[in-house]
């Protein structure tokens, strides 16, 4: 009998093999796998008591928390579609995502309640408003998550009849338009990605995984299934900061974490005493990094100063998320260190079950010479089912069975891909995708702005950040500080420009398209032309 792939199977296996083993450390809370399994049973029974049926959507907006895991495993058991949402967004973003996704239940961390209250009347599909609160506070009109869960039955729920191609999660991601798209990942997508993660990161029951990335993020939710399936331990960090990271890494004997370059940089710049450094775990520690290519100095710093192996991975929310991994191959082991570091900074080679091509504008493969540039396209069981309620957008990126990433790259004779540009003009800051078009749309609302374009510029802490090139209306004046302040009033702060350059005109092609490649090269020249 063929059993459909379902990510609950990773917890089922952990319960059968590792039930008494410690599973979760979250603040002062410690749970065995049996205790986690009991919570998941109560989560399913709670949702069913609230009238949540198979296929309904449950949204959660929270910083990293053990309660997020309840839904990661409860949702596939019940056939419910899980919607973790970026907690850094603003009310208008939440409004759009919750209504577009049609969430029936909304679970939020207590500090977000005031923001959600401003749009509550507009959330037409939400029937239950539930609050997570460590203090036990329960705002008027909200139900307590912990109270509801504690009251729910621990009885093993009857599993839903879930097909592996049913939608497991809808995750909203920034794209080339101002509004985010809802990426539909199937149970098969998530299952295959988890198996790949176990293989490529060498996960075993001896591992301790530190959740440094936000769990709403594709790299944050992409690993809990793999970690659980092998009976490893989850150590959950609500908010990353270097001192706390090192303290937990030492106390819990961390062996694996996923950190974007910005987190690695923060860790390397954090002062450690010799005693603190000596107490850190060293043997077998792996740090996966993604979001943007790590500079060689970060890889070298981690490996030489801390003794931790850095593994670069590449993927997108649309690919569940991993496509490639960059590791030194066996025949490269005697190469000079400089060449090995060069390999590690590349985007990588395809993971098991993933087919990668780099193609020109006519769909032909570019030469594998590490020089010719084309677009990365992929075919795999990890590629999404499509964008929620946006078939045109889906058809634009999945063509003849291949997912078009929009990332421009080279490929060499080792099968190593190296991204050289982003076709979609997405800006990745601290691992977060920022739509340049969304920010440009806000700039156009400023009364003094005639035209605007956004690009990514290097940033020491965040890898890259947003810079805006602005043309002012005739006779209008505005300063860099004025425009940045305007954006911060209306956008999530991580999306806002950190630098403004004023120019007389934006460079355009013959068809009127803004030439962002020229803006990038001429940005610093434009910085000299200040107004206001």
Average pLDDT value for residue range 109-116: 98
- The kind and range of the H/E element at 190 are helix 187-201
Q: Which residue has the tokens 């982003």?
A: 422
Is the pLDDT score of 461 beyond 50? yes
- The CB density around residue 359, as the number of other CB atoms within 10 Å, is 16
Question: Does 435 score more than 50 pLDDT?
Answer: yes
Q: How many residues does the chain have?
A: 532
Q: Mind listing the pLDDT tens digit for each residue in 26-74?
A: 999 999 999 999 999 999 999 999 999 999 999 999 999 999 999 999 9
pLDDT digits (tens, 9 = 90+) for 365-395: 999 999 998 999 999 999 999 999 999 999 9
Report long-range pairs for 16-22 (Cβ below 8 Å, ≥24 apart): 17/231, 18/205, 18/231, 21/205, 21/231, 21/233, 22/233
% of the chain beyond a pLDDT of 70: 94
Q: What is the mean pLDDT of residues 445-472?
A: 89
DSSP 321: S
Residue 399 has pLDDT above 90, yes or no: yes
Ranges 31-35, 154-158, 285-289, 439-443: which has the least confidence = 439-443
Q: Residue 185: is its pLDDT beyond 80?
A: yes
pLDDT mean over 118-122? 98
pLDDT tens track for 134-184: 998 899 999 999 999 999 999 999 999 999 999 999 999 864 445 789 999
Q: Is the pLDDT of residue 525 over 80?
A: no
User: What per-residue confidence (pLDDT) applies to 294?
Assistant: 76
d(CA 366, CA 223): 33
Go through the domains of the chain in sequence order and give each one's CATH number. 8-205+216-237 (3.40.50.12780), 426-526 (3.30.300.30)
DSSP state letters, 464-526: EEEEEEEEEPTT----HHHHHHHHHHHS-GGGS-SEEEE-S---B-TTS-B-HHHHHHHHHHH
Report cis status (omega within 30 of 0) of the bond before 321: yes
**What are the pLDDT digits (tens) for 220-269?**
777 999 999 999 999 999 999 999 999 999 999 999 999 988 789 889 98
pLDDT at residue 469, as a whole number: 93
Output the pLDDT for position 101: 98
> In angstroms, how far apart are the furthest CA atoms of the chain?
75
């Amino acid at each position: 009998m063929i059993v459909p792939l379902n990510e609950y199977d990773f917890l089922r296996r952990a319960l059968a093999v590792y039930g008494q083993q410690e599973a979760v450390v979250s603040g002062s809370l410690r749970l065995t796998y049996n205790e986690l399994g009991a919570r998941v049973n109560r989560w399913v029974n709670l949702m069913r008591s609230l009238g949540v049926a198979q296929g309904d959507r449950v949204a959660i907006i929270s910083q990293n928390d053990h309660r997020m895991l309840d839904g990661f495993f409860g949702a596939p058991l019940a056939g419910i579609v899980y919607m973790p949402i970026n907690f850094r967004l603003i009310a208008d973003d939440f409004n759009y995502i919750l209504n577009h996704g049609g969430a029936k239940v909304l679970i939020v961390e207590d500090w977000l309640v005031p923001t959600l209250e401003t749009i509550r009347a507009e959330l037409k599909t939400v029937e239950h408003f539930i609050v997570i609160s460590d203090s036990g506070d329960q705002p008027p009109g909200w139900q307590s998550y912990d109270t509801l869960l504690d009251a729910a039955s621990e009885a093993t729920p009857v599993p839903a009849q879930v097909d592996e191609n049913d939608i497991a999660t809808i995750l909203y991601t920034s794209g080339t338009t101002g509004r985010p798209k809802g990426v539909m990942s199937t149970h098969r997508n998530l299952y295959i990605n988890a198996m790949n993660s176990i293989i490529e990161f060498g996960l075993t029951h001896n591992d301790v995984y530190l959740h440094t990335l936000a769990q709403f993020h594709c790299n944050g939710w992409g690993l809990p299934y793999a970690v659980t399936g092998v009976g490893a331990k989850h150590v959950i960090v609500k908010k990353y900061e270097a001192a706390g990271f090192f303290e937990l890494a030492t106390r819990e004997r961390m062996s694996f974490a996923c950190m974007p370059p910005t987190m690695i940089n923060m860790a390397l710049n954090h002062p450690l005493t010799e005693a603190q450094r000596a107490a850190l775990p060293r043997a077998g520690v792996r740090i996966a990094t993604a979001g943007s290519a790590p500079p060689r100095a970060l890889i070298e710093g981690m490996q030489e100063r801390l003794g931790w192996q850095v593994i670069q991975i590449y993927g997108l929310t649309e690919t569940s998320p991993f496509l490639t991994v960059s590791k030194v191959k066996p025949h490269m082991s005697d190469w000079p260190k400089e060449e090995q570091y060069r390999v590690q900074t590349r985007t990588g080679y395809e993971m098991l079950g993933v087919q990668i091509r780099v193609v020109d504008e006519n769909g032909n493969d570019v030469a594998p010479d590490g020089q010719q540039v084309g677009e990365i396209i992929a075919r795999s069981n990890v590629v999404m089912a499509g964008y929620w309620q946006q078939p045109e957008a889906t058809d634009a990126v999945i063509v003849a069975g291949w997912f078009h990433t929009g990332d421009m790259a080279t490929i060499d004779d080792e099968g190593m891909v190296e991204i050289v540009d982003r076709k979609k003009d997405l800006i990745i800051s601290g691992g977060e995708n920022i739509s340049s078009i969304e920010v440009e749309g806000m700039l156009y609302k400023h009364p003094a702005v005639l035209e605007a374009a956004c690009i990514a510029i290097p940033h020491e802490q965040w890898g890259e950040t947003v810079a805006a090139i602005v043309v002012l209306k005739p006779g209008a004046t505005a300063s860099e500080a004025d425009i940045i302040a305007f954006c911060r009033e209306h956008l999530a702060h991580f999306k806002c420009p950190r630098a403004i350059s004023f120019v007389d005109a934006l460079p355009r092609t013959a068809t009127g398209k803004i030439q962002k490649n020229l803006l990038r090269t001429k940005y610093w020249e434009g910085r000299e032309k200040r107004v206001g």
